[in-house]
Amino acid sequence: MGVLKLIGAGMILVASTAMGFSVAAMYRNRPAELRSLQSALKLLESEIDYASRPLPEALAEVARRLSGPERILLNRASQLLGHGDVSSARRAWELAVEEYFSASSLSGADRDVLIDLGRSLGISDRDDQIRHLRLALSRLVRQEETAEEDRSRNERLWRYLGILSGGVLVLIFI
Amino acid sequence: MIRVTLWNVDLIFKIAGLGILISVLNMVLRQAGKEEQAQMLTLVGVVIVLMMVIRLVYQLFENVKVMFQL
């Protein structure tokens, strides 16, 4: 009986610690992901501005130069656009963002920035698209600032919270 | 009708452990600027411990009643 209790206590402790650390990891990853999204948007901007490629090609070209999860976002959007099984660029972009969002550490506000960007992609001339890309970029910069603030406040907290709440649960159940 | 069992000693250690963990958690929360959650946590801790000892408190009152033949 004693051994069984010990095993159970260990399992609860490990599980709650893992939960705390995974939440902390989300806080840690969000600023980095926002930064690489910014560089992806900058690349896309120069692709459209200087190379004046059409959107699917520009997306694929930027995706080729990137690594990490942003590559998946752009690749997916480019694929959806290229194969023509979606009704509009906006819809393709939305689908790609949803797919990317579920695998990333981004918050709902970050996703809204991306979705808003998709509304103006591919429906207007070059200058207008550039303007919207710049707008999204500046919004992402602001999101990154708040994300950094959140990280410094919450990362350590969630680690402690996981470990200690596991300890409390074990003590209550013993 | 006064019983002294080892079970009670275990309970004391359990409550002490809970107190330590909750006070550390309280400190962490306060450091992160979440004063309200820290207060709520303290309250929850008090309630949990109260639920643990309520049977013993009841026993104490029963014993007092028996002792003074009320």
Q: What are phi and psi of A124, to 5 degrees?
A: -140, -175
Angle between the N-to-C axes of helices A69-83 and A55-65, in degrees from 0 to 180, rounded to the nearest 10: 150
What Cα–Cα distance (Å) separates residue A28 from each residue in A15, A36, A53? 20, 14, 35
Distance CA A90, CA B32 (A): 40
d(CA B23, CA B18): 8
What are the residue ranges spanned by the domains of chain A? Answer: 2-173
Cα of B66 to nearest chain A Cα, Å: 32
Range ranked top by mean pLDDT from A51-60, A102-111, A147-156: A147-156
The domains of chain B are located at 6-67
Question: Is there a contact between A164 and B21 if contact means CB atoms under 8 Å apart?
Answer: yes
Q: Which of A60-64, A91-95, A152-156, A164-168 tops mean pLDDT?
A: A164-168
A172 and chain B in contact, CB less than 8 A: yes
From chain B, pick out residues whose CB is under 8 angstroms from the CB of A165.
25
Distance CA A147, CA A165 (A): 25
Per-residue pLDDT of chain B (70 residues; tens, 9 = 90+): 455 555 678 888 889 999 999 999 999 899 888 899 999 999 999 999 999 889 889 999 999 999 998 7
Chain A / chain B CB contacts < 8 angstroms: 33
Q: What is the DSSP string of B3-59?
A: ---HHHHHHHHHHHHHHHHHHHHHHHHHHTT-HHHHHHHHHHHHHHHHHHHHHHHHH
pLDDT at A68: 77
Nearest CA in chain B to A167: B21
ipTM over 0.95: no
Window 51-70 of B: residues touching A by CB (8 A cutoff) are none
pLDDT one-digit tens code per residue, A27-74: 998 898 888 888 888 888 888 888 777 777 888 888 888 877 778 888
Question: Does the CB of A141 have a partner CB in chain B at under 8 Å?
Answer: no
The Cα–Cα gap between A5 and A13 comes to 12
- Assess B50–A contact: CB distance below 8 Å, yes or no: no
Residue whose structure tokens are 């890309």: A133
Task: Give the end-to-end CA distance of chain B in Å, rounded to a whole number.
Answer: 15
